Amino acid sequence: MGQGYSVIHPQAGSAGIETPELADLEYERTLSGARIFKSIRARHKDGVVVAKVYTKAYASLKLDDKVQQLLQERRALQDVPNALPFHRIIETSTSAYLVRQWVHSSLYDRISINPPLEDIERKWIAFQLICAVRDCHARGIYHGDIKTEDMLLTSWNWLYLADFAAATKRHFLPEDNPVEYTLYYDTTTRRICYVAPERFTDDAKDEEGQNRPLNWAMDMFSVGCVIAELFTEKPTFTLSQLLRYKKGDYDPSHGLASAIKDDNIRDIVMQCLQLDPGSRFEASDILQEWQGKAFPNYFYDFLHQYTYLLTDPTSGRKPVVAETTNSGASDDRIDRIYFDFDKISVALRLDADDMGDGQIDQSPNAVSLGLFPLQVDMPNNRHPATDRAGIESDNGALLFSNIVIASLRSTARASSRVRGCELLLAFGEHLTDEAKLDRVLPYAIALLEDEVDIVKIAALRTVTQLV
């Protein structure tokens, strides 16, 4: 009959959502067919969701303890800004279902597409990941399988840590048999392994050894692997490399030293990848030790809290109401940034980038029709438009530009699009030329085809100044 896995665990066969408890979900397509769980994309009246389906090997199998653990996990994580637990947990006689909101892109997807992430965006994503792990650990929740596929990103780079695995996957694995790892953790075709090396043990063959609890040091090793991949865009470990690293036959520091240019980020990665769990830093210690070094101070005292408030709380935290008309959430987001621009510029120290007093020198031969120098007309912050960016712009303007651009694509009011153009012009002053060309101009040019004339005029004004 040929070779096969010599295990008692059932593989995920054909699974659907044909259960009365999920009658409000309409099957769309299968996302992945992992060996234990099958992931299905389904549509609810309030939005799109992901349902993970586990098919029981026999009807008498009871999962009460797992269900209770998942329910406790959901309650503990409900107020964590960067966590997305399963919001529906259902067990039937034949299957178990875990349902959460669907988010379009994972970090792995974002790394793989253009335009490439800037360093400030990579640091912002890494900062959110460490904050998410810190908040989860503070509540006694450990993820167990942190990888780039489990980090979900909105279009403005707000991060959600999802698919917590402590209750659904084995904690410890036999180091002499890769079958258990393949069943539970190799859900992609990349053959990567970000599981902490101490989780590969001899006593994992015993049921008691398999069920020993996870700890924070194990998650921090995975965090180091993810941050390394975020900055190098290459897998940090494969399974064979990790097992060699555990035995002392492989050293990842040589490749990371040349691939990660930022010394502080490299130090964080190497601190997380310590072979001795006791030598690793906790997430809170990393945030404290590298404040003002790897991560700017405004990440801590302004940007994280403000972006969390800006992020639509229905995005991953409550059902999104799928109305036939635009609810105006994007308009509200743009309006808030517009009226808070003076506070944002102070918090990000954008005024510190001004060249002199902000006045533009005009040559005697310059054509003047009363239009130049162009004035950026923001509330409580009217000033002449000029280029205030240095060679390497690292002041957070790009992060706010991402929010504005993502919101512009789904606005309902013309006035919000006009304010969005003004914001693109204001934040564009502090962006590098590459960021203006790759990030801002394509969306500003698209607004030239808007149906409202005042929006076309605002877009033309923005494009002209940026160019």
Catalytic residues, by residue number, are 145
Helical residues (DSSP H) of 168-303, grouped into ranges: 179-184, 207-210, 216-232, 239-247, 253-259, 263-272, 283-289, 297-298
CA 14 – CA 74 distance, rounded (Å): 28
Number of other CB atoms surrounding residue 209 within 10 Å: 16
* Cβ proximity of 53 and 72 under 8 Å: no
Contacts of 337 (CB under 8 A, 6+ apart): 310, 344, 400, 403, 404, 423
Calculate helix-pair angle for 453-466, 414-428, nearest 10 degrees: 10
Contacts of 254 (CB under 8 A, 6+ apart): none
* Cβ proximity of 425 and 466 under 8 Å: yes
Cβ-in-10-Å burial (0-12, 13-18, 19+) of 198 comes to middle
- Among 96, 156, 27, which residue's Cα sits nearest to residue 439? 156
- Among 166, 151, 160, 135, which residue's Cα sits nearest to residue 72? 166
CA 76 – CA 74 distance, rounded (Å): 5
- Among 357, 408, 403, 350, which residue's Cα sits nearest to residue 378? 350
Calculate helix-pair angle for 329-339, 397-408, nearest 10 degrees: 150
- Among 426, 436, 444, which residue's Cα sits nearest to residue 383? 426
Residue 421's identity, in one-letter code, is C
> What Rg do the C-alpha atoms of the chain give, in angstroms?
25
Helical residues (DSSP H) of 13-106, grouped into ranges: 64-77
Rounded to 5°, angle at Cα 315 from 310 and 318: 115
Number of other CB atoms surrounding residue 246 within 10 Å: 16
* Cβ proximity of 459 and 429 under 8 Å: no
CA 313 – CA 397 distance, rounded (Å): 23
Count of residues in the chain: 467
Segment holding 30, helix H or strand E = strand 26-33
